[in-house]
Amino acid sequence: MKSARVHYLLTFALIAAIAAGCGGPAKDAAKETEKAAPAPASTPAPEADASTPAPEAAAPSEPAPEASTDTAATGSGPGSIAGRATLDGTAPERATLETEGDPKCHAMHANAPLLSDREVIGPDNGIQWAFAYIKNPPAGDFPVPDTAAELDQIGCAYVPHVLGVRVGQKVNIKNTDPTLHNVRAIARANKPINFAQPQGTPPRERIFDKAEMQIKVKCDIHSWMTGYLFTMDHPFFSVTDDFGNFNITGLPAGDYTLVVWHEAYGTQEISVTVKPDATTDAKVAFKPAA
């Protein structure tokens, strides 16, 4: 029994010695190796907490709007027509008007005769005093000018010979001559005009309330005095200058019918396409009067 106890003690001591030898130097070496090892390049992300909801995915971006073709949206402005009326033939000489019936009118033209404004042909056969306008104007609100138009009587002639005004616009009819005139406007849609206008009297104001083409104006005292008024319900019109040129501005892009009227040569119509921010050329050629 004693020998068995001794054997047990010896065996226990041996096991303890082996355990101490294995855990000492090997464990210390492992600690030194751990200290010498470099730190990891990055710290792994922590695991997601099940109690925290995952962030929502970003909403997809909206597609860019398509480019607009609307004139206002693209910043494109109105267009214009630059036209010219010419005579396709030999230009006639301007007729001389006989003014002897009124000594005052005759005296004003003592150095040069008074010439008719019926057929005035300028350089390169340009026709003066033709009236150009848009037959199918665009819809819109076009304010009436605050400035009054003027029709004067100078040198026993109407100046200008052809005048375009807006419906509702004031027209001041003046007499600059040192003689008596009688103004008569042969209107059909509008109220006719017929009044005497002595020299030195103030201008007479008139307003036309309806659109009307070529209202003939004449003087009952001086039979050679004639002129024409056009009363328009839109601003798209022009009178040709001494080169036959005219300009119609502020037109929205579109297709239009351009009408050109002349006292001696009649009327012509042409189709014109106006583009935004662009000037369209328009040419009209008339034949000589028969």
Choose from 26-30, 69-73, 82-86 the range with maximum mean pLDDT: 82-86
Question: Contact at 8 Å (CB) between 259 and 238?
Answer: no
Q: What is the pLDDT of residue 228?
A: 98
Both tokens of 161, joined, read: 């010979």
Q: What percent of the chain has pLDDT over 90?
A: 73
Across 51-60, 132-141, 222-231, least confident range: 51-60
54 pLDDT tier (thresholds 50, 70, 90): very low
Amino acid at 179: T
Check whether 57 has a pLDDT greater than 50.
no
Q: Model confidence over 270-284: pLDDT tens digits? A: 999 999 999 999 999
CA angle 226, 228, 233 (to 5 degrees): 165
Per-residue DSSP letter, 227: E
Check whether 49 has a pLDDT greater than 50.
no
Check residues 98 and 4 and name the one with the higher pLDDT.
98
Q: What is the pLDDT of residue 76?
A: 78
Q: What is the pLDDT of residue 189?
A: 97
Q: What is the pLDDT of residue 276?
A: 95
- pTM of structure: 0.73
Q: How far is CA 289 from CA 80, 118, 197, 240, 275, in A?
A: 30, 11, 34, 18, 35
Mean pLDDT of 31-41: 44
Question: Contact at 8 Å (CB) between 247 and 209?
Answer: no
Tell me the DSSP string of 104-170.
HHHHHTSSS--B-SSS-B-GGGBBSS-EEEESSPPPS--PPPSSPEEEEE-SSSEESSEEEEETT-E
4 pLDDT tier (thresholds 50, 70, 90): very low
d(CA 134, CA 272): 10
Q: Model confidence over 149-166: pLDDT tens digits? A: 999 999 999 999 999 999
Show the DSSP H helices in the chain as ranges: 2-23, 25-36, 71-74, 103-108
Domain ranges of the chain: 78-286
Across 17-26, 138-147, 210-219, least confident range: 17-26
Q: What is the pLDDT of residue 214?
A: 96
pLDDT averaged over the chain? 83
CATH T-level fold of 78-286: Immunoglobulin-like (2.60.40)
Check whether 56 has a pLDDT greater than 70.
no
